[in-house]
Structure 1
Amino acid sequence: MNKPSIQTETENQLPATVAIALIVVGAIAVIVFGIYQIQTSDPYIESVLATEGDPMRGHAIFQMNCAGCHGWRKDGRVGPSLEGVSERKSDKEIIHQVISGETPPMPQFQPKPQDMADLLSYLKKQ
């Protein structure tokens, strides 16, 4: 005579936990891929990257719009330090950060492509 198998509650939860973990990992992968696709095909970003920036104008734009949070010398205040930001993030990532507003309390900006190119050239300058 066979005894019925008795599974504990923990054994029953294991497949559900694995399934949830796989769903979360899949969702994160889809989001990351989506952001990558947006960044690589966004006409605004492509326009900025095709425009030669002026770091002097970029400095003035930074002082007017960014220094209040990121410090007069890009050294951080409310917002993080932006010293060497171009070594940590690609141009597309920097542009996306500025225009997206995805990281509160940073607001969303939509500067003209020339202004963004100028700002980017200033941020790349050491």
Structure 2
Amino acid sequence: MHKWIMATLLGVAGLLAVYLLTFNLPEKEEHVAEEQFTVPDTPVDAATAEAFYKSNCMGCHGDQYQGAMGPALANIGSLRSKEEIYKTVLKGKSGGMPSFEGKITEEELINLTNWLAEMK
């Protein structure tokens, strides 16, 4: 009797799988490539960027950019592109890096990005 119950359950599971594959799969979504963004090369206002760093970033990345809770930024410019730095600051990262979207102007973000990218 045990074999009949297992065979019935397996048959029902198979029929359910066929039904779901035939009728209920969601429409295939096309992957839309993200727009390519290039951080413009602008003169860096180091004092403004450093002031922003001290008030918003130093707690996690350290006073000497050595890292603490967050990664070291002392040579971030040789590890990441300007676009990667820009996106990370703007959107944040899971695991603790906050998003600064809406908290920083585009000019401030570009200035900070270029300042960090110079750290090599």
Pairwise TM-score range, normalised by the shorter structure: 0.5 to 0.7
Q: 2:90 touches 2:100 (CA, 8 Å); kept in 1? A: yes
Query: Is 1:112 aligned to residue 110 of structure 2?
Result: no
Q: Which residue of 2 aligns with 1:122?
A: 115
SS of alignment partner, residue 69 of structure 2:
coil
The CA distance in 2 between the partners of 1:102 and 1:69, in whole Å, is 13
TM-score normalised to structure 2 length: 0.62
Q: Which moved more, 1:80-89 or 1:98-107?
A: 98-107
Q: 1:69 touches 1:79 (CA, 8 Å); kept in 2? A: yes
From 98, 115, 119, the equivalent of 2:89 is 98
Between the two proteins, what is the percent identity of the paired residues? Answer: 28
Unaligned segments of structure 2, at least 5 residues: 1-30
Superimposed CA distance per residue, residues 14-51 of structure 1 (whole angstroms, 9 cap, x where no aligned partner): xxxxxxxxxxxxxxxx6xx84xx34x14xxxx5x5254
Q: Which residue of 2 aligns with 1:61?
A: 52
Q: 2:42 touches 2:114 (CA, 8 Å); kept in 1? A: no
Q: Which moved more, 1:89-98 or 1:110-119?
A: 110-119
Q: CA deviation at 1:74?
A: 0.8
TM-score normalised to structure 1 length: 0.59
Structure number with greater Rg is 2
Q: 1:101 touches 1:107 (CA, 8 Å); kept in 2? A: yes
> Segments of 4+ in structure 1 off by > 3 A?
none
| CA RMSD in angstroms, aligned pairs only | 2.1
2:111 alignment partner AA? D
Q: Which has the higher contact order (CA 8 A, sep 6+)?
A: 1
Q: How many residues align?
A: 87
Matches within 5 A, 1:46-57: 46=38, 49=40, 51-57=42-48
Q: 2:92 touches 2:100 (CA, 8 Å); kept in 1? A: yes
Unaligned segments of structure 1, at least 5 residues: 1-29
Q: 1:70 touches 1:77 (CA, 8 Å); kept in 2? A: yes
